[in-house]
Structures are given as structure tokens and as C-alpha cells.
Amino acid sequence: MKFFWYSSPQTFYPLAGHIARACWVIAALLTLAGLYIGLLVAPTDAQQGEAYRIIFIHVAAAWMSMFLYVVMAFWAAIGLAFNTRLSSMMATAIAPTGALFTFIALWTGSLWGKPTWGTWWEWDARLTTTAILFFLYLGYLALRRTGSTADERGKRCAIAALIAFADVPISYLSVTWWQTLHQQGTVFNEQNKVLIDGSMAFTLVLAVVAFTMLYAYLVLERFELARLEEGREERELAQAIADRVAADQVEVAPA
């Protein structure tokens, strides 16, 4: 693998466009298959009835919310360590998608909680840490919009992302560390076994893969937008410097 060849902007930009289109097609096909199996093939849950079917969206979104923060922190660390703008831009592109999936996880969890727990919201450990994760995404995005140059923003956001990363393992392990309303992992748990029917588990895996492909598409599209935004910012800065130099020359010119 020519890693550095693929990581160069000249190679990565056109390649990202092709990958994004392929991910969109795969995500659409897997989503249709998942909806068919999840709604028409998977059996009704013995305890929760039809309400359980929201699990296929909720679990996939919740998993992606944590996974994306890990990926975002990774790219932020790479950008901070090697001072690579492409890595910093990738972290910035991931943040809005991570916030979106976290919001979907909270929203679907609330819809699922009403018929099963009898309430829309509880200050449960998993719910609370997931809500904190959502605001960490928003905080990263807000910090990215503050002044200074793109490089300085990238370094500042990378440090903030790495510090806030502590919430991810806490959120993931919260159902193990504390006794909470939220059930333990359906696939990954202390019993090391899948706790649902085979067709349900298959649909769940299908949903996770579909959301992963959707994530790749959204991030690559957002990456292109971030590249255009930074390019515009650099042109505006260069023009401002040129105007200032021209103004200074006019001031010092002899009368």
C-alpha cells in the first residue's frame, strides 16, 4: 500500500469522490434490505412486542456515535502530531456526522423508552453520558468556528477532542460499571453471546454496516465542503494581505 501516495491531497481528493458515490449506493441497498428484514421478516419480541423494532436504528446510531468520536479523535491526534492539515480537515468533517448519529441515538432511545420504561427520559448513566457526548460534538464544532488561522483552530480542536475522548469509554462501559435502566449490550456483553434471535442479530449487523456506509458518504462529502471553505479562507486572507501591502506602498510613496 502506498499510504503516503494515497494520503496526498492530489490523490485523495478525486479518490474520495469515487468512494463517496460507492458508499452511497451500498448504504441505500443495505438500508432497503434492513428495512424489509427488520419490519417483515424478524419475529415480534416476546416482551416488548413490535416496539422493539426501533432497536435496528437506535443501536446502529448509538454505536456509530461512539465509533465516530474515536475516529475523529484519531484524525485529530494525527493532525496534531504530524501537523497535517488533511487530517485536521477529516476530523472536522466527521464531527457533524457524529453529532447527527448521536442525536438520532438519543431521539430513538427516547421513543423506545416511553413504551418500555414508561418515560421519555431518565438520568440513566448511559443516557447521560450519551447526552454529554452530543454536546461534546457541538462544542468541537463551535470551537472550530472561532477566530485565528486554520492551523491554530486545528491544534486547539485536536487538544479539546483528545481531552473529551474520556467520555467515550465511560459511556460504553456505563451499563457494566453501574446498575442502570439501560440494558446491557445486545451483541457485546459480559456473557460473550448474542442475546437476540438470529434474524434480529443479522438485521442489526446489516443496520450497522448500512450506517457505516452512510457515515463514509456524509463524511467524504463534508470533507469536500471543508476543503472548499478553507480554500476560500486562504484566498480571502491572501487578498487582505495584498490589499494591506498595496495600501502601505501608497502611503510611503513620494508626493
Q: Which pLDDT value is given to residue 237? A: 52
Average pLDDT over all residues of the chain: 81
Confidence (pTM): 0.82
Q: Which pLDDT value is given to residue 5? A: 47
C-alpha distance across the termini of the chain, in Å: 63
Residues 157-165 have a mean pLDDT of 93
Give per-residue pLDDT as tens, 214-226.
999 998 888 877 6
What's the helix, strand, coil split of the chain in %, to 5?
Answer: 80, 0, 20
Q: Which pLDDT value is given to residue 233? A: 57
What DSSP string runs through 22-75? HHHHHHHHHHHHHHHIIIIISPPBTTTBGGGGGHHHHHHHHHHHHHHHHHHHHH
Residue ranges covered by each domain of the chain: 53-197
% of the chain at pLDDT higher than 70: 76
Residue 202 scores a pLDDT above 70 = yes
Give per-residue pLDDT as tens, 124-151.
888 999 999 999 999 999 988 876 677 7
